[in-house]
Structure 1
Amino acid sequence: MVWERVHSRQVPKKHFIHHLDGNPNNNRPENLVRMTTSAHTTMRKLLLQTRKKLTKPAFERFKQEILRINDDGTVLLTKAVFMF
């Protein structure tokens, strides 16, 4: 797996590799981030609900704003997600 090779470790249990651009065929290292499975599920539900309410440009900005990417290839949902 690309993420494991780049970060020299295995993906921990209960974690998921997320493709930032939504394309599962785009395995460039800069497109891959590690999330907990629960955070990924929460994010997907939120994005599905939000996609219908925003214009495409606003939705793309929203996606960028809800994720905080750490230097170690992990990602966290921001506080804004829980206030939405």
Structure 2
Amino acid sequence: MFLFEDEANIVEDREDLISVLKMRFGDIPPKVIEEIYAISSYETLERLILVASNVPSLKVFLEELKEGEGSFRILGDRFNPIEAQSEGGGSK
């Protein structure tokens, strides 16, 4: 892949991640959006899109966002999007 294609994919993934977060959790704090725009790793953005799609709360997503590029584990109840619904919409 060419360098401009890599950058285009990263920009697109940043926008996709922000869109998923907004769909799931409503307004996103500007600081979180800034942190997302600071990510330059395609793999990290792809992982965070999966995380955003599966965590029960924004709080859990923010914890994963702080993990950085070295985290690849996405399993367990932390990543159950139905968990918040089964507890009446509250976060864990």
* TM-score (norm. length: structure 1): 0.41
Bigger strand fraction: 1
TM-score normalized with structure 2 length = 0.38
More helix by share: 2
